[in-house]
Amino acid sequence: MNKSIFNENINKISTPTINKLQKELDDHPIIVIAASHIDMAMLSELYNHLNNIGYQNTINIVIYTRGGDINAARRVALLISDYCDHFNIIAPYYCQSSGTLLALAANTIYYSPLSIFSAIDPHLHGGQEDNCAALSGADIKLFSKMSKEWFETEISPQSNMLGMLCEHIFPPTLTAFYRTVLEVKEIAHELLQRAGKHKKNSQNNIIEALMFSFHSHDYAVTGQQLEELTLPCINNNQINAITWPIIEAFIDFIGGGNRADLDSPWCDTIIVSSHRLASRWKDTSGLNPKWQINN
């Protein structure tokens, strides 16, 4: 696919979307971020968009992502915060995993009936030799509860539960689980504190719920469920209608699964604002991805 033509086609959809959104949201600037995987390499291009916009009272971020690096999500939130007093997240569809973590920093989260958020529990690979499997921190934390409820087995403080776990999970991996859980909690606290709408106890309740109460990382959390956790969420039908055309384009064009064939390059990230459109392209060579810019 010709990358310049690709950008022009995206621009034909994004320009009226951004213009309508700005009118709907008191003429505050809009940045659209669509990413297969949120990562640190996005920051430089986001920085260019923010510099073009300049410091604002409010910036609205349209987000479309299945997740990514939790530290990158943190830095995206902090970078946006450096350019405004308030920022809002508009999540018409996918805003999962680290996307949900990013949303914790927002002053308002606009969602739709289709919005999909998720748990923010971290995942690591545990096991030994051929028994390696993807596990979450919740899988480890709930081990004793599972034993009691399923097998009516009380695990006493004197029992060697740690020994049992270490027979199947490399011991330093357990430590890595613990450190990663602490990291996610700290980042979540930092972002909620930035939004300034919750006291410490309330923050703890939100974080515990998002990390451990949904039982599966893939559980499709709704905007209403986030609202029930006391996050500042609003279902706005007008915003949903305005943003849907560009979301449909992202569904069709973002990610390696939308390539014409396995040898073709693919777009994994798009960042759009009023005067700049950037798409990032990967190919099968494994070399660093390249940005295609339209001003």
What is the CATH number for 272? 3.90.226
Judgement on whether residues 39 and 133 belong to the same structural domain of the protein: no
Looking at the predicted structure, is the pLDDT value of residue 162 above 70? no
* 40 domain residue, yes or no: yes
Q: Are 136 and 123 a contacting pair, CB within 8 Å? A: yes
* 135 domain residue, yes or no: yes
Torsion of CA 208, 210, 215, 219, to 10 degrees: 180
* 272 DSSP β-pair partners: 32, 277
Q: What is the DSSP letter of 123?
A: E
Phi, psi angle pair for 234, to nearest 5°: -135, 130
Torsion of CA 267, 277, 28, 41, to 10 degrees: 60
Give me the number of domains the chain comprises.
2
Judgement on whether residues 255 and 132 belong to the same structural domain of the protein: no
* 186 domain residue, yes or no: no
Q: Round to whole Å and give the CA distance between 120 and 102.
A: 10
Judgement on whether residues 111 and 231 belong to the same structural domain of the protein: yes
Strands 266-273 and 56-65, sheet pairing: unpaired
Q: Are 258 and 282 a contacting pair, CB within 8 Å? A: no
* 251 domain residue, yes or no: yes
Assign residue 77 a region (left: φ > 0; alpha: ψ between -120 and 50; beta: otherwise).
alpha
Judgement on whether residues 113 and 224 belong to the same structural domain of the protein: yes
Alpha helices in 85-130 (DSSP H): 98-103
Q: Round to whole Å and give the CA distance between 13 and 249.
A: 8
Judgement on whether residues 91 and 24 belong to the same structural domain of the protein: yes
Instruction: Please write down the HEC assignment for all residues of 179-198.
Output: HHHHHHHHHHHHHHHHHCCC
Strands 276-282 and 290-294, sheet pairing: antiparallel
Looking at the predicted structure, is the pLDDT value of residue 279 above 50? yes
* 224 domain residue, yes or no: yes
Judgement on whether residues 50 and 80 belong to the same structural domain of the protein: yes
Judgement on whether residues 127 and 148 belong to the same structural domain of the protein: yes
Say what the pLDDT of residue 56 is. 97
Assign residue 17 a region (left: φ > 0; alpha: ψ between -120 and 50; beta: otherwise).
alpha
Say what the pLDDT of residue 164 is. 60
Judgement on whether residues 95 and 138 belong to the same structural domain of the protein: no
Strands 84-91 and 56-65, sheet pairing: parallel
Q: Tokens 């660093």 — which residue?
A: 288
* 197 domain residue, yes or no: no
Least trusted range by pLDDT, from 178-182, 192-196, 205-209, 284-288: 178-182
Judgement on whether residues 150 and 241 belong to the same structural domain of the protein: no
Which pair of tokens denotes residue 117?
């958020």
Q: Round to whole Å and give the CA distance between 171 and 103.
A: 33
- 133: helix, coil or strand? strand
- The average confidence (pLDDT) of the chain is 89
Say what the pLDDT of residue 158 is. 45
Judgement on whether residues 155 and 226 belong to the same structural domain of the protein: no
- Burial classification of residue 1, based on how many CB atoms lie within 10 Å of its CB (0-12 exposed, 13-18 middle, 19 or more buried): middle
Query: Could you tell me the residue range of the domain that residue 12 belongs to?
Result: 3-118+220-294
pTM of the model: 0.88
- 50: helix, coil or strand? helix
Condensed to tens digits (0 to 9), the pLDDT of residues 49-105 reads 999 999 999 999 999 999 999 999 999 999 999 999 999 999 999 999 999 999 999
DSSP H/E element including 91: strand 84-91
Give, rounded to a whole angstrom, the gap between the first and last alpha carbons of the chain. 20
Q: Which residue has the higher pLDDT, 260 or 137?
A: 260
Name which of 249, 241, 254 is nearest 14 in CA terms: 249
Judgement on whether residues 145 and 100 belong to the same structural domain of the protein: no
Q: Round to whole Å and give the CA distance between 76 and 40.
A: 8
Which pair of tokens denotes residue 148?
């009691």
* 159 domain residue, yes or no: yes
